[in-house]
């Protein structure tokens, strides 16, 4: 499969210590997973198999990281990915170990259609009752009430959870006031992260 020029640019911008690590891992992925695709996801180079993420890599100021999807999460190490902070080729696990994990990830995708097996029937979230103080605040602000009433259940739940999970009364009151202000402006709970 064709190489993604964005990954070439990413590697070229990485620190001198990181470039050999990133190039080596990239070549190992392509040597191990026939037809591996390339993409940039979450701002980092990723490799795909049948359109599913199989591995990724990232460069930072003083270290880089490689991760193989579905091969375990970050543990007690201090870096991103399951192999810790990598500052030279010597810090990478042996090629045979990495290749075995890549093959296992490819096999999971081939057998299940994804790198990580997800629960097939997640439990539906239960509705949260609207507390009296929340309902009163909405009644006092018709614009906020209209926005709240127009939200789908998941968006109502986001506001309700945010307010009801406050541990102190002062925090709850502040969150409730902010929630009403945002809803009066027609905003969802996580509006700051929407584009």
Helix or strand run (H / E) with residue 96: helix 95-112
Give the number of other CB atoms < 10 A from CB of residue 58. 22
Residue 125 pLDDT exceeds 80: no
Q: What was the pLDDT predicted at 160?
A: 94
Q: What was the pLDDT predicted at 112?
A: 77
Stretch 171-185: mean pLDDT: 95
- Under CATH, which architecture does the 5-112 domain have? Alpha-Beta Complex (3.90)
Q: Any idea what the Cα angle at residue 5 is, between residues 79 and 116, rounded to 5°?
A: 45
Task: State the pTM of this model.
Answer: 0.57
Q: Where along the chain do its domains lie?
A: 5-112, 132-193
Higher per-residue pLDDT: 28 or 193:
28
Residue 122 pLDDT exceeds 80: no
Helix or strand run (H / E) with residue 38: strand 37-41
Stretch 101-122: mean pLDDT: 75
Stretch 87-112: mean pLDDT: 91
Residue 61 three-state SS: coil
Higher per-residue pLDDT: 75 or 169:
169
* Segment 147-165, tens digit of pLDDT: 999 999 889 999 999 999 9
**Contact predicate 38/46, CB 8 Å:** yes
Stretch 133-138: mean pLDDT: 95
Residue 40 three-state SS: strand
């Amino acid at each position: 499969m064709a190489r993604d020029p964005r990954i070439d640019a990413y590697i070229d911008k990485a620190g001198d210590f990181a470039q050999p690590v990133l190039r080596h891992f990239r070549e190992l992925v392509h040597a191990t997973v026939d037809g591996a695709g390339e993409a940039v996801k979450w701002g980092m180079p990723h490799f795909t198999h049948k359109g599913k993420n199989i591995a990724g890599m990232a460069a930072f100021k003083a270290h880089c990281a490689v991760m193989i999807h579905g091969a375990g999460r970050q543990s007690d190490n201090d870096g991103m990915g399951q192999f810790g902070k990598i500052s030279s080729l010597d810090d990478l696990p042996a090629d045979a170990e990495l290749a075995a994990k890549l093959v296992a990830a490819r096999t999971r995708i081939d057998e299940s259609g994804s790198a990580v097996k997800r629960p097939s029937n997640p439990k539906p979230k239960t509705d949260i009752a609207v507390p009296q103080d929340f309902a009163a605040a909405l009644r006092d602000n018709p614009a906020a009430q209209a926005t709240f009433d127009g939200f789908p259940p998941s968006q109502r739940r986001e506001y309700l959870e945010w307010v009801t999970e406050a541990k102190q009364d002062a925090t709850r009151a502040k969150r409730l006031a902010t929630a009403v202000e945002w809803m009066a402006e027609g905003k969802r709970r996580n509006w700051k992260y929407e584009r």
